[in-house]
Amino acid sequence: MHNRILTFAILFLFSILFISNVYGWVLITQTGFWKDVSLTNWHKQGWNEGYIEWQQNLTDFNGFWIYIETLKWENWHEWYQFGILSIGETTNDFWVKIKITTENGTLWVVTNFHGKTAYFGLISELHDYVGASINATDWDEVTLHHPNFEGYDFFKVQAWNPPNVQIFILNEDGQAKVYWFFDIPDQENKYAYIQTFNQTLGVNATVTLIYQHGGQGETQGTITQSFTLPSFPLYEMKGKGTGPLGIFNWLTAATDWGVIGSTILACLLIFATFVKLSIPLLGIFAFFWIIDCISSAVTHGEPRIIGDMVMTIYDFVRGLWQTLVNMLSALWDVITFWS
């Protein structure tokens, strides 16, 4: 009797392990540093890298859905990383990579949240990059695209892209399709980005799921995934930006204002640095100029030289004061105009 119970217990445990290995996610490898990571969440902190990979085999594959919800995203930089003209910029990346291999071929789907800082941390951005391929042999061969988020607020959406996205991978109308649905602040409709391939995914599938991070910062979030597809959310292919904001969005789409803005800001920073370094030298020059004027007046017996010196200093201070007053007056006019 005891032997039969022991035998059934061993068979039961073996069956659980067998089912888990065949039909559940199996951890393949984990490297690098994670503050916390599992199938359902991640937490990266610091200046480091991390990689984790799972795999699952299915005989009835009908699609895959995953929802990435970012709870925290901070881009970090050190004081010496000045980030001017792309020199010394810092990056902060999180990738979700999906590889689906079926009897009909292999599909790679890559989603990259790319944060960066520039200009001593004054600029901090988050951009989304997505891509899929049926020809790639590895994820780094997948061409990533940056959705332009046309028609949405520049500062809320275009400069800091939405870090929450649903991904649907499925067969539809005789084609394999990948949908990315990005959450847009303050509205129900999602922004959709779609890629389509002229072949379908088979039912016998090996699905590989990879989370990876790198760079400087702290990111944290949750990930929900299922092989049972939920309904599509309400979505749109572009925003409804109108008026001055719509014109601004049109200008940003038509012109590479990022390069122009970076160049202008770099010039301003160089000028400010030059002024900062010049002020002590100007003080030294002014001191020696005053000494020279006084000594010349004494040597040549010309008090007029000292008078000219005083008037020159007076004119300079008055001009500086008048410039400051004009700037404040112009600023006040702008404030009262828009109030």
| 3 state DSSP class of 253 | helix
d(C-alpha 35, C-alpha 151), whole Å: 37
The label of the residue with tokens 């079926």 reads 102
Whether 251 shows a pLDDT value over 60: the answer reads no
Burial label, 216 (beta-carbon count in 10 A; 0-12, 13-18, 19+):
buried
Which of 191-195, 224-228, 323-327, 333-337 has the least mean pLDDT? 333-337
Residues 72-101 have a mean pLDDT of 87
Residues 121-138 have a mean pLDDT of 93
Whether 5 shows a pLDDT value over 90: the answer reads no
pLDDT in tens, 264-295: 666 666 666 665 666 666 667 677 778 877 88
Identify which has the larger pLDDT, 55 or 309. 55
Whether 133 shows a pLDDT value over 90: the answer reads yes
The label of the residue with tokens 């100007």 reads 282
Q: Find how far residue 147's CA is from the centre of its chain.
A: 12
CATH T-level topology, domain 26-252: Jelly Rolls (2.60.120)
Identify which has the larger pLDDT, 280 or 40. 40
**Using alpha carbons only, how large is the chain's radius of gyration in Å?**
31
d(C-alpha 241, C-alpha 154), whole Å: 10
pLDDT in tens, 183-212: 999 999 999 999 999 999 999 999 999 999
Percent of the chain with pLDDT over 90: 54
Angle at which helix 303-338 crosses helix 257-300, to 10 degrees, equals: 160
Q: How many CB atoms lie within 10 A of CB 96?
A: 21
At residue 9 the predicted structure's pLDDT band, cuts being 50, 70 and 90, is: very low
Q: Find how far residue 62's CA is from the centre of its chain.
A: 32
Which of 6-10, 165-169, 210-214, 263-267 has the least mean pLDDT? 6-10
Residues 215-219 have a mean pLDDT of 96
Q: Find how far residue 2's CA is from the centre of its chain.
A: 61
At residue 154 the predicted structure's pLDDT band, cuts being 50, 70 and 90, is: confident
d(C-alpha 300, C-alpha 312), whole Å: 20
d(C-alpha 324, C-alpha 51), whole Å: 55
**How does DSSP classify residue 145?**
B
Residues 171-194 have a mean pLDDT of 95
Residues 134 and 143: beta-carbon distance below 8 Å: no
Q: How far is CA 220 from CA 5, 91, 214, in A?
A: 46, 16, 13
d(C-alpha 75, C-alpha 222), whole Å: 19
| 3 state DSSP class of 154 | helix
pTM (predicted TM-score): 0.67
User: What stretches of 229-302 show up as alpha helix (H) in DSSP?
Assistant: 243-254, 257-300
Average pLDDT, whole number, for the chain?
Answer: 83
Residues 144 and 153: beta-carbon distance below 8 Å: no
Whether 28 shows a pLDDT value over 60: the answer reads yes
